Amino acid sequence: MSGSRASGVFTALRTQLQEAATEYAGGPDALEGILLGLVDDVDRAVREPLEIFPVCHHSPASALAMARRLREKQPKVVYLELCEDMAPLLTELRNCRLPVAVQAFAGDIDGFPQEWAPLSVVAPITEASAEYQAIAYALDTPGVELVLVDRSSDHVFQWSDTASKDEVSAEADEEPKSEEAALHGEAVGVEIGDLRPRFAELEEHLLRHGKVRHWSEWWHQYVEVPLGDSDHDTYRQVMFLVGSLFRRLAPGDGDRVRVDEDRERYMWTRMREHMAATGTDPEECLYVCGAFHAASRVEEFGVEGRSDSFTISPRTATTWQYGLIPSSHAAIEAQFGLVPGSVSIAATQWQKSLKRTKVRPYRLEGQAGARKSKAAKALQAVAPTAPPPARDRLSGFLQQPPVLDGLDEAELLGWSVDIVRAARRNGYLASTADAIAVFETSILLAGMRDRARPTPYDFQDAAVTCIEKDRVPGRRDVRRLVEIMMGGDRIGQVGYEALPPLARDVYDRLEPLGLKLRQRGVQRALLDMAGRPELEACSDVLWMLRRLMPPAAARPIMGERRLGERSIQESWDLSLGTHQRALIELGYEGVSIEQVLEQRLRREAYGPRATTAGVLAAVEDSLLYLRSGRLADELGTHALKVLSAERTVDGAPEVLRRARALLAYYRTSQPELPAWIESFVRTGYAHYCTLLPTAFRDEDATVGQVAAMLGFLFSMESLALSLGCDRTQLELAVAQSHPEDPSKTALLWAAQVQLGTLSRAELRARCDALLDNPLVVPSYPRYLSGFVHALEPVPGLADVVVEAVSNAFGRLPDTVLLPWLPLLITTLRKGAADLAPLLIREAGRVFPGRLPALDSWVPPWRQPQVDPFAASRARHSATAAQAPRGLALLAAHPAACDAVAGLLGCEDGWQQPGPSPVPHTGAALLAAHPATCDAVAELLGCEEGWAAAGDGGAPGSALVAGHPASAEALEALLADA
Mean pLDDT of 132-136: 91
Lowest mean pLDDT segment, chosen from 128-142, 302-316, 401-415, 788-802 = 401-415
In sequence order, the 6+-apart residues with CB closer than 8 A to the CB of 154 are 85, 315, 316, 318, 320
**pLDDT above 70 (res 179):** no
- For residue 570, CA distances in Å to 201, 250, 271 come to 60, 60, 58
**pLDDT above 60 (res 16):** yes
DSSP state, 534?
T
Mean pLDDT of 603-613: 89
Highest mean pLDDT among 100-104, 306-310, 896-900: 100-104
Q: How confident is the model at residue 171 (pLDDT cuts 50, 70, 90)?
A: very low
Percent of the chain with pLDDT over 70: 78
Instruction: Confirm whether pTM is higher than 0.85.
Output: no
| pLDDT the model gives residue 860 | 72
Highest mean pLDDT among 478-487, 611-620, 787-796: 611-620
pLDDT in tens, 887-908: 566 677 778 778 887 777 777 7
Mean pLDDT of 176-196: 60
102 beta partners: 123, 324
Rounded distance, CA 29 to CA 534, Å?
A: 82
By three-state DSSP, how is residue 165 classified?
Answer: helix
| pLDDT the model gives residue 164 | 40
Single-letter amino acid, residue 750: A
**pLDDT above 50 (res 167):** no
| pLDDT the model gives residue 951 | 45
| pLDDT the model gives residue 372 | 53
**Pairing mode, strands 100-106 and 321-326:** antiparallel
| pLDDT the model gives residue 173 | 41
Rounded distance, CA 478 to CA 468, Å?
A: 6
By three-state DSSP, how is residue 557 classified?
Answer: strand
DSSP assignment of 309-375 equals: S--PPPP-SPPPEEEEEE-BHHHHHHHTTPPTTHHHHHHHHHHHHHHHH-------TT-TTPPP-PP
Instruction: Quickly count: other Cβ atoms within 10 Å of residue 372's Cβ.
Output: 6
By three-state DSSP, how is residue 727 classified?
Answer: helix
Lowest mean pLDDT segment, chosen from 378-387, 524-533, 950-959 = 950-959
In sequence order, the 6+-apart residues with CB closer than 8 A to the CB of 314 are none
Rounded distance, CA 959 to CA 946, Å?
A: 6
Q: How confident is the model at residue 27 (pLDDT cuts 50, 70, 90)?
A: low
DSSP assignment of 7-43 equals: -STTHHHHHHHHHHHHHHHSSSSHHHHHHHHHHHHHH
Contact 62, 132 (CB under 8 A): no
- For residue 923, CA distances in Å to 78, 378, 504, 888 come to 113, 120, 86, 10
In sequence order, the 6+-apart residues with CB closer than 8 A to the CB of 141 are 74, 376, 378, 379
**pLDDT above 50 (res 169):** no
Looking at per-residue pLDDT, the higher value among 387 and 629 belongs to 629
| pLDDT the model gives residue 312 | 83
Q: How confident is the model at residue 617 (pLDDT cuts 50, 70, 90)?
A: very high
Contact 490, 451 (CB under 8 A): no
Kindly report the average pLDDT of the chain as a whole number: 79
In sequence order, the 6+-apart residues with CB closer than 8 A to the CB of 558 are 567, 569, 570, 571
Rounded distance, CA 291 to CA 247, Å?
A: 10
- For residue 340, CA distances in Å to 13, 197, 199, 331, 398 come to 38, 19, 22, 10, 30
Sheet holding 51-55, edge to edge: 51-55, 285-290, 77-83, 145-150
| pLDDT the model gives residue 943 | 61
**pLDDT above 90 (res 157):** no
Single-letter amino acid, residue 805: V
Q: Check whether the bond before 99 is cis (ω within 30° of 0).
A: yes
| pLDDT the model gives residue 339 | 77
Lowest mean pLDDT segment, chosen from 101-115, 216-230, 448-462, 908-922 = 908-922
Rounded distance, CA 789 to CA 644, Å?
A: 25
Lowest mean pLDDT segment, chosen from 436-445, 826-835, 879-888 = 879-888
| pLDDT the model gives residue 469 | 74
Contact 758, 797 (CB under 8 A): no
Q: How confident is the model at residue 809 (pLDDT cuts 50, 70, 90)?
A: confident
Rounded distance, CA 613 to CA 157, Å?
A: 35
Looking at per-residue pLDDT, the higher value among 187 and 452 belongs to 452
Q: How confident is the model at residue 168 (pLDDT cuts 50, 70, 90)?
A: very low
pLDDT in tens, 744-763: 999 999 999 999 888 888 98
Rounded distance, CA 392 to CA 444, Å?
A: 38
**pLDDT above 90 (res 542):** yes
Closest CA to 588 of 537, 548, 623, 544: 548
Lowest mean pLDDT segment, chosen from 475-489, 670-684, 935-949 = 935-949
Looking at per-residue pLDDT, the higher value among 304 and 676 belongs to 676
- For residue 499, CA distances in Å to 236, 581, 586, 630, 706 come to 38, 10, 11, 31, 50
Contact 303, 48 (CB under 8 A): yes
Looking at per-residue pLDDT, the higher value among 525 and 927 belongs to 525
Percent of the chain with pLDDT over 90: 12
Mean pLDDT of 682-687: 90
| pLDDT the model gives residue 313 | 84
**pLDDT above 70 (res 774):** yes
Distance of CA 881 to the CA centre of its chain: 82
Closest CA to 961 of 883, 908, 903: 883
3-state secondary structure 784-830: HHHHHHCCCCCHHHHHHHHHHHHHHHHHCCHHHHHHHHHHHHHHHHH
Single-letter amino acid, residue 141: T
Q: How confident is the model at residue 544 (pLDDT cuts 50, 70, 90)?
A: very high
Rounded distance, CA 147 to CA 157, Å?
A: 22
**pLDDT above 60 (res 926):** yes
Rounded distance, CA 762 to CA 703, Å?
A: 22
Q: Which helix (H) or strand (E) holds 80?
A: strand 77-83
Contact 198, 210 (CB under 8 A): no
Kindly provide the residue ranges of all beta strands, DSSP E only, lying in 643-779, ordered along the sequence: none
DSSP state, 562?
B
Question: Which phi and psi angles does 290 have, rounded to 5°?
Answer: -70, 150
DSSP assignment of 258-313 equals: HHHHHHHHHHHHHHHHHHHHHT--GGGEEEEEEHHHHT---TT-STTS-SSS--PP
Q: How confident is the model at residue 883 (pLDDT cuts 50, 70, 90)?
A: very low
Rounded distance, CA 937 to CA 476, Å?
A: 82
Q: How confident is the model at residue 954 (pLDDT cuts 50, 70, 90)?
A: very low
Dihedral, CA of residue 380, residue 382, residue 385 and residue 390, to nearest 10 = 0
Closest CA to 134 of 145, 123, 143: 145
Single-letter amino acid, residue 891: A
Kindly provide the residue ranges of all beta strands, DSSP E only, lying in 184-248, ordered along the sequence: 188-189
**Pairing mode, strands 523-528 and 119-125:** unpaired
By three-state DSSP, how is residue 554 classified?
Answer: strand
Closest CA to 710 of 755, 658, 662: 755
pLDDT in tens, 245-268: 877 776 656 677 788 888 888 888
Rounded distance, CA 689 to CA 706, Å?
A: 11
Contact 32, 22 (CB under 8 A): yes
